[in-house]
């Protein structure tokens, strides 16, 4: 059975009608884009979206990671002055990961000094999937897990897989609007699968014999912003042609799935 963390709405500043209207239109467009062209391993949550500023998505555990087979619901909260401030994303179940804290927050630099209004929810979710593949070990929220990942990867992998089975194994059926993309096979995400076997093989080829209990980190860690920008160059998340027109046209009118 899944084990959910207590949901807590982040504090919102005093609502500005004009700013909220701008944010609502922007979020509406991003929501349509998410439905029409979801990022790899991501899909809608189980309930219809009734509030532009708060909805849920589901991340399916990526293959070649200890999270494979897991189902991870994520709460998304948008500020009223979005996109000038970043949204807040919370994993609703416990995740054993160097970059995810006890409240389900993934501490990334793009949510702080490196935020840009050019980012979208689809791009953020793609970044989340990337960090599930390869943790950002220079920005850990849990240093003990980060140290374990570096030096005792097999132990980390076993525990992360056990947490996934215990807390994130409950199936979740997505609520799809009629026009959404359903059941498409996710394309490959550029990544370096951090499986113990791959790390051992790479380490052995680089330095001969390496103890299995101390597998070194073979590539220099980088910020999620830099990593995500590399992904954007090779993975186009923006709709084209008639899709963009449809996205804009539909987001400007009230949808039965976005009613207040």
Q: Residues 61-90: what's their mean pLDDT?
A: 94
Q: Is 69 left (phi over 0), alpha (psi -120 to 50) or beta?
A: left
| Structure tokens, 160 | 């992360």
SS in 3 state form for 36-82? HCCCCCEEECCCCCCCCCEEEEEEECCCCCCCCCCEEEEEEECCCCC
User: For all residues of the chain together, what is the average pLDDT?
Assistant: 75
Measured between alpha carbons, how far is 104 from 96 in angstroms, rounded to an integer? 10
pLDDT band at 31 (very low <50, low <70, confident <90, very high): very high
Summarize pLDDT for 48-70 with one digit per residue, the tens: 999 999 999 999 999 889 999 99
Write the DSSP string, 161-190. HHHHHHHS-S-------TTS--SPPPPPPP
Measured between alpha carbons, how far is 76 from 60 in angstroms, rounded to an integer? 16
Least confident of 8-12, 44-48, 228-232: 228-232
Least confident of 29-38, 136-145, 227-236: 227-236
Establish how many alpha carbons lie within 13 A of residue 168's alpha carbon, considering only the half-sphere containing its beta carbon.
Answer: 27
DSSP secondary structure letter of residue 108: -
As a whole number of Å, the end-to-end CA separation of the chain is 32
Which residues lie across from 147 on neighbouring strands?
none
pTM attached to this predicted model? 0.70
Instruction: Spell 7-36 as b/e; 16+ CB within 10 A means b.
Output: eeeeeeeeeeeeebebbbebbbbbbbbbbb
Whether 144 shows a pLDDT value over 60: the answer reads yes
Summarize pLDDT for 154-200 with one digit per residue, the tens: 999 999 999 999 999 999 999 988 877 775 545 444 444 444 555 55
């Amino acid at each position: 059975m899944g084990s959910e963390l207590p949901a807590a709405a982040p504090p919102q500043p005093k609502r500005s009608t004009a700013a909220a209207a701008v944010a609502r239109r922007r979020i509406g467009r991003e929501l349509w884009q998410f439905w029409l062209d979801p990022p790899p391993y991501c899909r809608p949550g189980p309930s219809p979206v009734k509030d532009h500023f708060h909805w849920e998505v589901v991340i399916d555990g990526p293959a070649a990671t200890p999270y494979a087979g897991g189902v991870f619901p994520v709460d998304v909260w948008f500020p009223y002055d979005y996109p000038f401030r970043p949204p807040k994303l919370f994993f609703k179940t416990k995740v054993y990961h160097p970059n995810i804290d006890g409240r389900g927050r993934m501490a990334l630099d793009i949510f702080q000094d490196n935020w840009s209004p050019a980012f979208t929810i689809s791009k953020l979710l793609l970044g989340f999937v990337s960090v599930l593949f390869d943790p950002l070990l220079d920005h850990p929220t849990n240093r003990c897990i980060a140290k374990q990942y570096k030096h005792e990867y097999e132990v980390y992998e076993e525990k992360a897989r056990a947490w996934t089975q215990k807390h994130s194994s409950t199936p979740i059926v997505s609520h799809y609007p009629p026009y959404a993309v359903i059941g498409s096979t996710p394309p490959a995400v550029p990544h370096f699968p951090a499986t113990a076997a791959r790390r051992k093989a790479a380490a052995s080829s680089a330095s001969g014999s390496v103890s299995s209990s101390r597998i070194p980190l073979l590539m220099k860690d980088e910020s999620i912003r830099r990593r995500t920008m590399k992904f954007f160059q090779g993975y186009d998340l923006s709709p084209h042609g008639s899709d963009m027109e449809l996205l804009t046209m539909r987001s400007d009118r009230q949808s039965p799935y976005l009613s207040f």
